[in-house]
Protein backbone atom coordinates (compact mmCIF):
# COMPACT_ATOMS: atom_id res chain seq x y z
CA UNK A 1 0.00 0.00 0.00
CA UNK A 2 1.24 3.51 -0.73
CA UNK A 3 2.47 5.68 2.13
CA UNK A 4 3.28 9.05 0.62
CA UNK A 5 1.39 11.17 3.16
CA UNK A 6 3.35 13.88 4.93
CA UNK A 7 4.28 13.41 8.56
CA UNK A 8 4.18 16.18 11.14
CA UNK A 9 7.46 18.11 11.06
CA UNK A 10 9.20 17.69 14.43
CA UNK A 11 6.09 15.86 15.58
CA UNK A 12 3.91 18.97 15.22
CA UNK A 13 0.27 18.24 14.48
CA UNK A 14 -2.95 20.20 14.56
CA UNK A 15 -6.34 18.80 15.49
CA UNK A 16 -9.33 19.14 13.20
CA UNK A 17 -12.82 17.81 13.61
CA UNK A 18 -15.84 16.94 11.50
CA UNK A 19 -19.16 15.23 12.15
CA UNK A 20 -17.36 11.91 12.66
CA UNK A 21 -15.00 13.24 15.31
CA UNK A 22 -11.51 14.71 15.75
CA UNK A 23 -8.36 13.79 13.83
CA UNK A 24 -4.72 14.82 14.04
CA UNK A 25 -3.35 16.45 10.86
CA UNK A 26 0.38 17.06 10.20
CA UNK A 27 1.04 20.69 11.06
CA UNK A 28 2.51 21.62 7.68
CA UNK A 29 -0.23 19.92 5.62
CA UNK A 30 -2.65 22.02 3.61
CA UNK A 31 -5.18 19.21 3.38
CA UNK A 32 -7.59 18.77 6.28
CA UNK A 33 -9.71 16.26 8.13
CA UNK A 34 -11.87 15.27 5.15
CA UNK A 35 -8.91 14.47 2.94
CA UNK A 36 -7.10 12.63 5.76
CA UNK A 37 -10.11 10.39 6.43
CA UNK A 38 -10.38 9.65 2.71
CA UNK A 39 -6.66 8.87 2.58
CA UNK A 40 -7.10 6.38 5.41
CA UNK A 41 -10.23 4.85 3.87
CA UNK A 42 -9.29 4.64 0.19
CA UNK A 43 -5.82 3.27 -0.44
CA UNK A 44 -6.92 1.51 -3.60
CA UNK A 45 -4.76 2.25 -6.66
CA UNK A 46 -1.42 3.38 -5.19
CA UNK A 47 -1.87 6.65 -7.06
CA UNK A 48 -3.35 10.12 -6.84
CA UNK A 49 -5.55 12.21 -9.09
CA UNK A 50 -3.96 13.02 -12.43
CA UNK A 51 -2.46 16.54 -12.64
CA UNK A 52 -4.80 17.43 -15.51
CA UNK A 53 -7.81 16.60 -13.33
CA UNK A 54 -6.43 18.62 -10.42
CA UNK A 55 -5.99 21.51 -12.85
CA UNK A 56 -9.65 21.21 -13.88
CA UNK A 57 -10.80 21.20 -10.25
CA UNK A 58 -8.73 24.33 -9.58
CA UNK A 59 -10.27 26.02 -12.62
CA UNK A 60 -13.76 25.26 -11.30
CA UNK A 61 -12.84 26.74 -7.91
CA UNK A 62 -11.37 29.86 -9.49
CA UNK A 63 -14.41 30.38 -11.69
CA UNK A 64 -16.68 29.78 -8.71
CA UNK A 65 -14.93 32.46 -6.67
CA UNK A 66 -15.10 34.91 -9.58
CA UNK A 67 -18.82 34.25 -9.95
CA UNK A 68 -19.50 34.61 -6.24
CA UNK A 69 -17.58 37.86 -6.13
CA UNK A 70 -19.61 39.26 -9.00
CA UNK A 71 -22.86 38.15 -7.36
CA UNK A 72 -21.85 39.59 -3.98
CA UNK A 73 -21.82 36.16 -2.36
CA UNK A 74 -18.24 36.48 -1.05
CA UNK A 75 -16.41 39.37 0.56
CA UNK A 76 -13.72 40.75 -1.76
CA UNK A 77 -10.84 39.73 0.48
CA UNK A 78 -12.12 36.13 0.73
CA UNK A 79 -12.93 35.76 -2.96
CA UNK A 80 -9.65 37.27 -4.10
CA UNK A 81 -7.70 35.00 -1.76
CA UNK A 82 -9.44 31.91 -3.16
CA UNK A 83 -8.56 33.06 -6.68
CA UNK A 84 -4.94 33.62 -5.69
CA UNK A 85 -4.59 30.12 -4.26
CA UNK A 86 -6.38 28.58 -7.24
CA UNK A 87 -3.78 30.27 -9.44
CA UNK A 88 -1.02 28.73 -7.33
CA UNK A 89 -2.58 25.32 -7.93
CA UNK A 90 -2.74 26.05 -11.65
CA UNK A 91 0.99 26.80 -11.52
CA UNK A 92 1.55 23.30 -10.12
CA UNK A 93 2.04 24.37 -6.53
CA UNK A 94 0.38 22.69 -3.53
CA UNK A 95 -0.64 19.66 -5.60
CA UNK A 96 1.38 17.34 -3.37
CA UNK A 97 -1.35 17.83 -0.79
CA UNK A 98 -3.97 16.31 -3.13
CA UNK A 99 -3.64 12.98 -1.33
CA UNK A 100 -6.94 11.23 -2.06
CA UNK A 101 -6.94 8.09 -4.22
CA UNK A 102 -8.76 8.40 -7.58
CA UNK A 103 -10.99 5.48 -6.61
CA UNK A 104 -13.09 6.57 -3.66
CA UNK A 105 -16.55 6.24 -2.19
CA UNK A 106 -18.73 9.31 -1.96
CA UNK A 107 -19.01 10.22 -5.66
CA UNK A 108 -15.91 12.43 -5.53
CA UNK A 109 -16.69 14.30 -2.29
CA UNK A 110 -13.27 13.44 -0.90
CA UNK A 111 -11.41 14.99 -3.84
CA UNK A 112 -13.67 18.05 -3.82
CA UNK A 113 -13.05 18.55 -0.10
CA UNK A 114 -9.33 17.85 -0.55
CA UNK A 115 -8.98 20.84 -2.89
CA UNK A 116 -11.37 22.94 -0.80
CA UNK A 117 -9.18 22.34 2.28
CA UNK A 118 -5.95 23.12 0.42
CA UNK A 119 -7.36 26.40 -0.89
CA UNK A 120 -8.77 27.29 2.54
CA UNK A 121 -5.59 26.52 4.52
CA UNK A 122 -3.26 28.23 2.07
CA UNK A 123 -5.69 31.16 1.97
CA UNK A 124 -5.70 31.34 5.76
CA UNK A 125 -1.91 31.65 5.66
CA UNK A 126 -2.17 34.49 3.16
CA UNK A 127 -4.69 36.19 5.44
CA UNK A 128 -2.26 35.96 8.36
CA UNK A 129 -3.82 33.04 10.20
CA UNK A 130 -2.74 29.48 10.92
CA UNK A 131 -3.88 26.36 9.10
CA UNK A 132 -7.12 24.99 10.47
CA UNK A 133 -8.55 28.38 11.50
CA UNK A 134 -11.53 27.88 9.25
CA UNK A 135 -13.46 30.79 10.73
CA UNK A 136 -11.13 32.96 8.62
CA UNK A 137 -11.71 31.05 5.39
CA UNK A 138 -13.93 27.98 5.29
CA UNK A 139 -13.53 25.05 2.87
CA UNK A 140 -17.32 24.64 2.82
CA UNK A 141 -18.83 28.08 3.35
CA UNK A 142 -16.39 30.02 1.19
CA UNK A 143 -14.38 27.84 -1.23
CA UNK A 144 -17.38 25.62 -1.98
CA UNK A 145 -19.89 28.48 -2.00
CA UNK A 146 -22.80 27.78 -4.36
CA UNK A 147 -21.32 24.41 -5.23
CA UNK A 148 -21.62 20.73 -4.46
CA UNK A 149 -19.42 17.77 -5.25
CA UNK A 150 -22.27 16.67 -7.50
CA UNK A 151 -21.71 19.56 -9.90
CA UNK A 152 -18.01 20.30 -9.27
CA UNK A 153 -16.73 16.76 -9.81
CA UNK A 154 -18.50 15.95 -13.12
CA UNK A 155 -17.74 19.43 -14.44
CA UNK A 156 -14.03 18.94 -13.68
CA UNK A 157 -14.27 15.59 -15.44
CA UNK A 158 -15.76 17.13 -18.57
CA UNK A 159 -13.15 19.88 -18.64
CA UNK A 160 -10.46 17.22 -18.34
CA UNK A 161 -11.83 15.13 -21.19
CA UNK A 162 -12.23 18.11 -23.50
CA UNK A 163 -8.52 18.81 -22.98
CA UNK A 164 -7.58 15.17 -23.49
CA UNK A 165 -9.67 14.98 -26.68
CA UNK A 166 -7.65 17.86 -28.12
CA UNK A 167 -4.39 16.12 -27.21
CA UNK A 168 -5.48 12.86 -28.83
CA UNK A 169 -6.77 14.64 -31.93
CA UNK A 170 -3.30 16.11 -32.52
CA UNK A 171 -1.78 12.62 -32.42
CA UNK A 172 -4.45 11.18 -34.71
CA UNK A 173 -3.99 13.96 -37.27
CA UNK A 174 -0.23 13.33 -37.30
CA UNK A 175 -0.81 9.59 -37.71
CA UNK A 176 -3.25 10.21 -40.57
CA UNK A 177 -0.70 12.47 -42.27
CA UNK A 178 1.91 9.70 -42.06
CA UNK A 179 -0.47 7.14 -43.55
CA UNK A 180 -1.29 9.55 -46.39
CA UNK A 181 2.39 10.19 -47.04
CA UNK A 182 3.10 6.46 -47.23
CA UNK A 183 0.08 5.85 -49.45
CA UNK A 184 1.54 8.28 -51.99
CA UNK A 185 5.06 6.91 -51.68
CA UNK A 186 3.89 3.32 -52.21
CA UNK A 187 1.19 4.07 -54.79
CA UNK A 188 2.79 2.16 -57.68
CA UNK A 189 4.02 -0.92 -55.82
CA UNK A 190 1.77 -3.89 -56.57
CA UNK A 191 1.37 -6.77 -54.14
CA UNK A 192 -0.94 -9.64 -53.38
CA UNK A 193 -4.15 -8.76 -51.61
CA UNK A 194 -5.41 -11.29 -49.11
CA UNK A 195 -8.75 -12.23 -47.60
CA UNK A 196 -8.95 -14.61 -44.64
CA UNK A 197 -5.13 -14.79 -44.80
CA UNK A 198 -5.39 -16.40 -48.24
CA UNK A 199 -4.35 -15.03 -51.63
CA UNK A 200 -7.09 -12.96 -53.26
CA UNK A 201 -6.42 -10.36 -55.96
CA UNK A 202 -3.73 -7.71 -56.50
CA UNK A 203 -3.69 -4.38 -54.71
CA UNK A 204 -1.09 -1.67 -54.33
CA UNK A 205 0.72 -1.08 -51.05
CA UNK A 206 -0.34 2.53 -51.43
CA UNK A 207 -4.01 1.55 -51.50
CA UNK A 208 -3.62 -0.38 -48.26
CA UNK A 209 -2.07 2.64 -46.55
CA UNK A 210 -4.77 4.88 -48.02
CA UNK A 211 -7.32 2.69 -46.25
CA UNK A 212 -5.40 3.17 -42.99
CA UNK A 213 -5.55 6.92 -43.60
CA UNK A 214 -9.29 6.79 -44.29
CA UNK A 215 -10.24 4.93 -41.12
CA UNK A 216 -8.02 7.22 -39.04
CA UNK A 217 -9.73 10.30 -40.49
CA UNK A 218 -13.09 8.71 -39.73
CA UNK A 219 -11.98 8.21 -36.13
CA UNK A 220 -10.97 11.86 -35.97
CA UNK A 221 -14.53 12.82 -36.93
CA UNK A 222 -15.94 10.50 -34.29
CA UNK A 223 -13.71 11.92 -31.57
CA UNK A 224 -14.40 15.51 -32.58
CA UNK A 225 -18.13 14.82 -32.29
CA UNK A 226 -17.57 13.75 -28.67
CA UNK A 227 -16.91 17.36 -27.74
CA UNK A 228 -20.57 18.12 -28.25
CA UNK A 229 -21.49 15.28 -25.89
CA UNK A 230 -19.48 16.64 -22.95
CA UNK A 231 -19.45 20.42 -23.38
CA UNK A 232 -22.59 20.83 -21.26
CA UNK A 233 -21.92 21.06 -17.52
CA UNK A 234 -24.20 21.09 -14.49
CA UNK A 235 -22.56 23.84 -12.44
CA UNK A 236 -25.12 25.55 -10.24
CA UNK A 237 -27.19 22.39 -9.94
CA UNK A 238 -25.56 21.65 -6.57
CA UNK A 239 -26.68 18.45 -4.83
CA UNK A 240 -29.22 16.93 -7.25
CA UNK A 241 -29.64 19.57 -9.93
CA UNK A 242 -32.21 21.75 -8.15
CA UNK A 243 -29.71 24.53 -7.41
CA UNK A 244 -30.35 24.40 -3.66
CA UNK A 245 -28.11 26.89 -1.74
CA UNK A 246 -26.70 28.47 -4.93
CA UNK A 247 -27.49 32.02 -6.10
CA UNK A 248 -30.19 31.99 -8.76
CA UNK A 249 -27.75 33.49 -11.29
CA UNK A 250 -24.79 31.30 -10.30
CA UNK A 251 -25.05 28.89 -13.25
CA UNK A 252 -25.11 31.57 -15.91
CA UNK A 253 -22.42 33.60 -14.14
CA UNK A 254 -19.90 30.83 -13.50
CA UNK A 255 -20.13 29.45 -17.03
CA UNK A 256 -18.73 32.67 -18.49
CA UNK A 257 -15.82 32.59 -16.08
CA UNK A 258 -15.22 28.89 -16.75
CA UNK A 259 -14.97 29.59 -20.48
CA UNK A 260 -12.56 32.43 -19.73
CA UNK A 261 -10.40 30.42 -17.32
CA UNK A 262 -10.23 27.24 -19.43
CA UNK A 263 -10.50 28.55 -22.99
CA UNK A 264 -12.97 25.73 -23.66
CA UNK A 265 -16.31 25.97 -25.47
CA UNK A 266 -18.63 24.90 -22.67
CA UNK A 267 -22.21 25.70 -21.75
CA UNK A 268 -24.71 25.10 -18.98
CA UNK A 269 -26.81 21.98 -19.43
CA UNK A 270 -30.44 22.63 -20.31
CA UNK A 271 -31.68 20.23 -17.63
CA UNK A 272 -29.45 20.30 -14.52
CA UNK A 273 -31.28 17.40 -12.88
CA UNK A 274 -30.74 15.21 -15.95
CA UNK A 275 -27.12 16.33 -16.16
CA UNK A 276 -26.58 15.33 -12.53
CA UNK A 277 -28.38 11.99 -12.76
CA UNK A 278 -27.15 10.71 -16.09
CA UNK A 279 -23.54 10.34 -17.19
CA UNK A 280 -23.95 8.32 -20.38
CA UNK A 281 -22.00 10.98 -22.29
CA UNK A 282 -18.85 9.51 -20.76
CA UNK A 283 -19.89 6.17 -22.22
CA UNK A 284 -20.09 7.73 -25.68
CA UNK A 285 -16.53 9.03 -25.28
CA UNK A 286 -15.32 5.66 -23.99
CA UNK A 287 -16.99 3.85 -26.90
CA UNK A 288 -15.22 6.10 -29.38
CA UNK A 289 -11.88 5.53 -27.66
CA UNK A 290 -12.48 1.79 -27.87
CA UNK A 291 -13.33 2.10 -31.59
CA UNK A 292 -10.13 4.07 -32.23
CA UNK A 293 -8.13 1.54 -30.24
CA UNK A 294 -9.56 -1.48 -32.05
CA UNK A 295 -9.19 -0.06 -35.56
CA UNK A 296 -5.63 1.07 -34.77
CA UNK A 297 -4.81 -2.36 -33.38
CA UNK A 298 -6.14 -3.93 -36.59
CA UNK A 299 -3.69 -1.79 -38.55
CA UNK A 300 -0.88 -2.74 -36.18
CA UNK A 301 -1.74 -6.42 -36.64
CA UNK A 302 -1.69 -5.99 -40.44
CA UNK A 303 1.77 -4.48 -40.21
CA UNK A 304 3.00 -7.28 -37.95
CA UNK A 305 1.80 -9.86 -40.45
CA UNK A 306 3.10 -8.09 -43.53
CA UNK A 307 6.52 -7.51 -41.95
CA UNK A 308 6.79 -11.05 -40.53
CA UNK A 309 9.95 -12.97 -41.23
CA UNK A 310 12.12 -11.41 -42.42
CA UNK A 311 13.11 -14.56 -44.36
CA UNK A 312 10.37 -17.06 -43.59
CA UNK A 313 7.31 -14.84 -43.23
CA UNK A 314 5.43 -12.58 -45.61
CA UNK A 315 8.16 -9.96 -45.50
CA UNK A 316 6.51 -7.38 -47.76
CA UNK A 317 7.01 -4.54 -45.29
CA UNK A 318 10.15 -3.58 -43.44
CA UNK A 319 9.57 -1.86 -40.10
CA UNK A 320 12.24 0.02 -38.15
CA UNK A 321 14.29 -2.10 -35.76
CA UNK A 322 13.76 -0.63 -32.31
CA UNK A 323 15.47 -3.12 -29.96
CA UNK A 324 16.83 -6.64 -29.63
CA UNK A 325 14.06 -9.21 -29.74
CA UNK A 326 15.50 -12.03 -27.68
CA UNK A 327 17.79 -12.78 -24.78
CA UNK A 328 18.78 -16.09 -26.42
CA UNK A 329 18.43 -15.68 -30.21
CA UNK A 330 21.12 -13.32 -31.57
CA UNK A 331 19.95 -10.81 -34.16
CA UNK A 332 16.24 -11.41 -33.62
CA UNK A 333 14.10 -8.29 -34.04
CA UNK A 334 10.48 -8.23 -32.92
CA UNK A 335 7.63 -5.90 -33.99
CA UNK A 336 7.53 -4.30 -30.54
CA UNK A 337 5.79 -1.07 -31.51
CA UNK A 338 2.80 -2.73 -33.26
CA UNK A 339 2.64 -5.12 -30.28
CA UNK A 340 2.33 -2.29 -27.78
CA UNK A 341 -0.44 -0.67 -29.86
CA UNK A 342 -2.44 -3.88 -29.59
CA UNK A 343 -1.80 -4.17 -25.86
CA UNK A 344 -2.98 -0.58 -25.45
CA UNK A 345 -6.15 -1.54 -27.32
CA UNK A 346 -6.73 -4.42 -24.93
CA UNK A 347 -6.49 -2.01 -21.99
CA UNK A 348 -8.82 0.57 -23.55
CA UNK A 349 -11.39 -2.11 -24.40
CA UNK A 350 -11.22 -3.45 -20.84
CA UNK A 351 -11.64 0.02 -19.39
CA UNK A 352 -14.68 0.46 -21.59
CA UNK A 353 -16.33 -2.48 -19.85
CA UNK A 354 -15.61 -0.96 -16.43
CA UNK A 355 -16.92 2.43 -17.52
CA UNK A 356 -20.07 0.89 -19.00
CA UNK A 357 -20.84 -0.98 -15.79
CA UNK A 358 -20.26 2.15 -13.69
CA UNK A 359 -22.58 4.21 -15.89
CA UNK A 360 -25.33 1.61 -15.59
CA UNK A 361 -24.79 1.41 -11.81
CA UNK A 362 -25.99 4.95 -11.12
CA UNK A 363 -29.14 5.21 -9.01
CA UNK A 364 -31.84 7.84 -8.70
CA UNK A 365 -30.49 11.43 -8.56
CA UNK A 366 -26.76 10.71 -8.74
CA UNK A 367 -24.18 8.32 -10.12
CA UNK A 368 -21.84 7.49 -7.23
CA UNK A 369 -19.32 5.77 -9.49
CA UNK A 370 -17.93 8.75 -11.36
CA UNK A 371 -14.53 8.30 -9.65
CA UNK A 372 -13.88 4.97 -11.38
CA UNK A 373 -15.38 6.27 -14.66
CA UNK A 374 -12.99 9.22 -14.65
CA UNK A 375 -9.97 7.20 -13.49
CA UNK A 376 -10.37 4.65 -16.27
CA UNK A 377 -11.32 7.17 -18.95
CA UNK A 378 -8.25 9.28 -18.18
CA UNK A 379 -6.14 6.14 -18.32
CA UNK A 380 -7.63 5.20 -21.69
CA UNK A 381 -6.89 8.65 -23.09
CA UNK A 382 -3.29 8.56 -21.88
CA UNK A 383 -2.62 5.02 -23.11
CA UNK A 384 -4.22 5.60 -26.51
CA UNK A 385 -2.51 8.95 -27.03
CA UNK A 386 0.90 7.57 -26.05
CA UNK A 387 0.68 4.30 -27.99
CA UNK A 388 -0.46 5.99 -31.20
CA UNK A 389 2.23 8.66 -30.90
CA UNK A 390 4.81 5.90 -30.53
CA UNK A 391 3.26 3.93 -33.42
CA UNK A 392 3.59 6.93 -35.70
CA UNK A 393 7.06 8.07 -34.64
CA UNK A 394 8.75 4.70 -34.17
CA UNK A 395 7.07 2.59 -36.83
CA UNK A 396 4.92 4.24 -39.50
CA UNK A 397 7.26 7.10 -40.37
CA UNK A 398 10.15 4.72 -40.99
CA UNK A 399 8.27 1.88 -42.65
CA UNK A 400 9.58 0.63 -46.01
CA UNK A 401 8.39 -1.78 -48.69
CA UNK A 402 10.32 -4.80 -49.95
CA UNK A 403 9.18 -4.33 -53.56
CA UNK A 404 11.01 -7.40 -54.89
CA UNK A 405 9.32 -9.60 -52.28
CA UNK A 406 5.93 -8.16 -53.22
CA UNK A 407 6.58 -8.98 -56.88
CA UNK A 408 7.85 -12.46 -56.08
CA UNK A 409 4.76 -13.38 -54.08
CA UNK A 410 2.48 -11.81 -56.69
CA UNK A 411 4.00 -13.93 -59.47
CA UNK A 412 3.72 -17.10 -57.40
CA UNK A 413 0.06 -16.51 -56.63
CA UNK A 414 -2.95 -17.77 -58.56
CA UNK A 415 -4.59 -14.35 -58.74
CA UNK A 416 -4.74 -14.40 -62.56
CA UNK A 417 -7.32 -17.17 -62.47
CA UNK A 418 -9.93 -14.70 -61.17
CA UNK A 419 -9.65 -12.63 -64.36
CA UNK A 420 -9.09 -15.73 -66.49
CA UNK A 421 -12.45 -17.14 -65.36
CA UNK A 422 -14.19 -14.37 -67.32
CA UNK A 423 -12.82 -15.94 -70.54
CA UNK A 424 -12.75 -19.69 -69.85
CA UNK A 425 -15.24 -20.11 -67.00
CA UNK A 426 -14.86 -20.61 -63.25
CA UNK A 427 -14.43 -24.39 -63.35
CA UNK A 428 -11.61 -24.42 -65.94
CA UNK A 429 -9.86 -21.54 -64.17
CA UNK A 430 -10.05 -23.41 -60.85
CA UNK A 431 -8.40 -26.48 -62.45
CA UNK A 432 -5.56 -24.28 -63.73
CA UNK A 433 -5.12 -22.80 -60.24
CA UNK A 434 -5.02 -26.27 -58.69
CA UNK A 435 -2.46 -27.55 -61.20
CA UNK A 436 -0.35 -24.43 -60.72
CA UNK A 437 -0.09 -25.15 -57.01
CA UNK A 438 0.48 -28.88 -57.42
CA UNK A 439 3.25 -28.47 -60.01
CA UNK A 440 4.73 -25.31 -58.47
CA UNK A 441 4.35 -23.54 -61.81
CA UNK A 442 2.92 -20.09 -62.54
CA UNK A 443 -0.64 -19.69 -63.74
CA UNK A 444 0.69 -18.29 -67.03
CA UNK A 445 2.79 -21.39 -67.62
CA UNK A 446 -0.08 -23.79 -66.95
CA UNK A 447 -2.55 -21.72 -68.98
CA UNK A 448 -0.25 -21.66 -72.00
CA UNK A 449 0.18 -25.43 -71.75
CA UNK A 450 -3.60 -25.71 -71.88
CA UNK A 451 -3.76 -23.73 -75.10
CA UNK A 452 -4.95 -20.43 -73.59
CA UNK A 453 -4.12 -17.53 -75.89
CA UNK A 454 -1.14 -15.43 -74.85
CA UNK A 455 -3.11 -12.35 -75.86
CA UNK A 456 -5.67 -13.17 -73.15
CA UNK A 457 -2.93 -13.68 -70.56
CA UNK A 458 -1.31 -10.36 -71.45
CA UNK A 459 -4.68 -8.60 -71.22
CA UNK A 460 -5.56 -9.99 -67.77
CA UNK A 461 -2.06 -9.30 -66.43
CA UNK A 462 -2.41 -5.53 -66.93
Task: Supply the residues annotated as catalytic.
Answer: 326
Taking CA atoms, 59 is separated from 63, 70, 229, 230, in Å, by 6, 17, 20, 17
Strand partners, 15: 24
Cα(99)–Cα(425) distance, integer angstroms: 74
Specify the DSSP class assigned to residue 195. E
Kind and range of the H or E element at 318?
strand 317-318
Q: Longest Cα pair distance anywhere in the chain, in angstroms?
A: 103
Burial of 298 per CB tally in 10 Å (0-12, 13-18, 19+): middle
Task: For 271-285, give the DSSP string.
Answer: -HHHHHH--HHHHHH
Q: Cα–Cα–Cα angle for 36, 39, 44, nearest 5°?
A: 175
Burial of 136 per CB tally in 10 Å (0-12, 13-18, 19+): buried
Amino acid sequence: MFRFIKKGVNGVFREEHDSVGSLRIPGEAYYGVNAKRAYDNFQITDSRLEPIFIESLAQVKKAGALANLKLGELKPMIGETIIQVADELLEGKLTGDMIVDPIQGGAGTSSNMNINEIIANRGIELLGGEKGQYHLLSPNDHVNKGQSTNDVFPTAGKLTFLKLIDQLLIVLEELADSFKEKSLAFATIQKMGRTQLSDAVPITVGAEFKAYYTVTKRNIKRLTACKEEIRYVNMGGTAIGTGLSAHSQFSQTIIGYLREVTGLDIAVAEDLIDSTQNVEAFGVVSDVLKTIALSSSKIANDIRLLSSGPRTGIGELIIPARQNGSSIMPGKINPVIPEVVTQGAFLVAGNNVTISMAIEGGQLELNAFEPVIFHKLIESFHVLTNTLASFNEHCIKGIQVNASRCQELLEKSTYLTTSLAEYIGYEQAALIAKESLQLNRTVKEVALSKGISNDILVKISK
